[in-house]
Amino acid sequence: MARQPKGRLINGILILDKPTGMSSNHALQRVKRMFGARKAGHTGSLDPLATGLLPICLGEATKFSQFLLDADKRYQTTAQLGVRTDSSDADGKVVETKPCEHITVTDVEAQLPQFRGLISQVPSMFSALKHQGQPLYKLARAGKTVAVKPRQVTIHNLELLSFKYSQVRMDISCTKGTYIRSIVEDLGLALDCGAHVAQLRRLQAGPFVAEQMVTLEDLQGIIDEATQGQVVEAGQWPDITPAFSKLDQLLIPADTAVLSLNAVQLPAHEIEALQQGKVIDHATEYAPFDVVRVYNSLASDATAFIGLAEVQPEGRLKAKRLMST
């Protein structure tokens, strides 16, 4: 007999404030366990050094995580001048130091325009970008290097927040695939003193903003309050079921990951046809091959969102990614 999967069938998105020193996957597993969720996934890794906004999708919301991977991001970073590391961040080994006391805020501001707009950057060997199936950071830690092709990204906004004690604080809004450590590394080269990322914090990913973030301590506090006074045997975990109702209130509906897409309302019989894999003759004004959100026209609660469909020629609709029923 096949083993039944463990965990709750719960759907939604948690906007986690990832702490420093923890991998994104470790944070994901902590959240999955706290919610007792059967299925979970994050939407773009943050380095262990980095903190901040990490959307974690639970259950059916994982089907739409790609749209968050593709979304624009916003970061605040602190670049330490005068020290270059092999990983371009504070976790790496120092490979070069240079005097930087002579550099002024005017010098820094003069170099920043080259990092705005459409730019080309070479991803760090310590990035999660893959080469022949292996993340570059694993190759780098094994002492291997490979040729990494430059890629074009767009920096929508780069603002200098402060400059003191040879540290440059910047606020950066950018497209997906932008490596902040590469910007910092290139800034250090432009100033001829070297630089590395001392701090990095993500404040926005697509529609999600910093004000929505929840910490692991917040989640643990809810669990501790709900399980207070429980007596458990040594080596066992308390029953956290009483905490689920409050934890679930922190989840954002799955369709918030795709709110940038147009929406269509369908009657029940057309939704059933989509779920059966049929192409339906529902005329829309949207262009062929557009992806649209699909809602049940008769529902008004969380069950109204059905998933995504692709517009076919003559306005017909074909299921692309649907919530499981």
Please give the Cα distance from 3 to 195 (Å, whole number).
Answer: 52
Residues 126, 106: Cα–Cα separation, whole Å: 31
CA dist., res. 42 & res. 68, Å (int)? 9
CA 82-88-90 angle, to 5 degrees, is 75
Q: Which residues are catalytic?
A: 47
| Neighbour-count burial for 7-36, b at 16+ CB within 10 Å, e otherwise | eeebbbbbbbbbbeebebeebbebbbebbb
Please check whether residue 228 is in contact with residue 22, taking contact to mean a CB–CB distance below 8 angstroms.
Answer: no
Neighbours of 276 (CB within 10 A): 9
Place of tokens 């590469």: 182
User: What angle separates helix 216-226 from helix 24-35, to the nearest 10 degrees?
Assistant: 20
